[in-house]
Structure 1
Amino acid sequence: MAAFVVEAWAFIDAIIRPKSAFAAAATMADNAAGRLTKPIWLIILGVAFVIGLYSAAYGGAVGFLSVLAFVAAAVYLAGVRPKVREYSKRGNRSSAGPYGPW
């Protein structure tokens, strides 16, 4: 059940992040996992979500696929999400100071 929560969190987080953040993260990436685009990550994490849902609903692990699904979600959350999140925070800034607009 915990693995499903991690997979759902990764999938939902990838959905809400802007596509431009993934493109910027891809240019900053040092590893191959960070170079994937948003549609590719959505496919990977969507499949992981479905496998996790199946495992949680039927009370057992699907085996090797469950492990791969969890690893995919963990790679996204540990490696890609911080870069995408950092870009999202930077990209949303306007001409505001620390206490409001200038």
Structure 2
Amino acid sequence: MSNLYSAQLFVFLALYLLVFVLCVVAIADLARRPAAAFVSGGKRTKTFWGVLLGVALAVAFVAIPPPLGIGALRFLALGSAVASIVYLVDVKPAIAPYSGRGGRPGGSRGGW
């Protein structure tokens, strides 16, 4: 039984670490984007997403279970995952054309 218990703890820890890494990736991408891209892309402001993803990152960090973390607020880690996934799947593609990295909307950058 102890091997099964150890495997469950490993999977549990891996899932919470995945949520934490997802939050880090989302907030790192947010930091690279200009504020004007959010308005141009028809999304909420950069400040809104910064606060939302910052709280999500803090909750995901606190939710990491022992032996790496304290394991508090574990039930809220799902909300952290949802916020990060919504940003990465919906907001990021919508603002990418206006960020100066993915080209201009409706055309290519061209040239060398």
Please classify the TM superposition score into its range, dividing by the shorter chain length: 0.7 to 0.9
Mark the structure with the bigger radius of gyration: 2
Query: Is 1:80 aligned with 2:83?
Result: no
Aligned equivalent of 1:32: none
Aligned equivalent of 2:45: 37
| Cα shift at 1:58 | 1.6
**Partner letter of residue 84 of structure 2?**
A
**Partner letter of residue 103 of structure 2?**
R
Aligned equivalent of 2:103: 90
RMSD, aligned α-carbons: 1.8
Please give the TM-score of this superposition, normalised by the length of structure 1. Answer: 0.75
Runs of 4+ in 1 over 3 A off after TM superposition: none
Write the distance in 2 (CA, Å) between the matches of 1:61 and 1:86.
39
Please give the TM-score of this superposition, normalised by the length of structure 2. Answer: 0.69
| Cα shift at 1:59 | 5.7
User: Identity across aligned pairs (percent)?
Assistant: 33
Alignment of 1:62-77 (within 5 A): 62-77=73-88
Gap runs ≥5 in structure 2: 1-16
Aligned length in residues: 87
Gap runs ≥5 in structure 1: 27-34
Q: Is the 8 A contact 2:63 2:74 kept in 1?
A: no
SS in 2 for 1:13: helix
Deviation digits for residues 8-62 of structure 1 (CA, Å, limit 9, x no counterpart):
1001111110011111111xxxxxxxx3110000000000011111123426462
SS in 2 for 1:90: coil
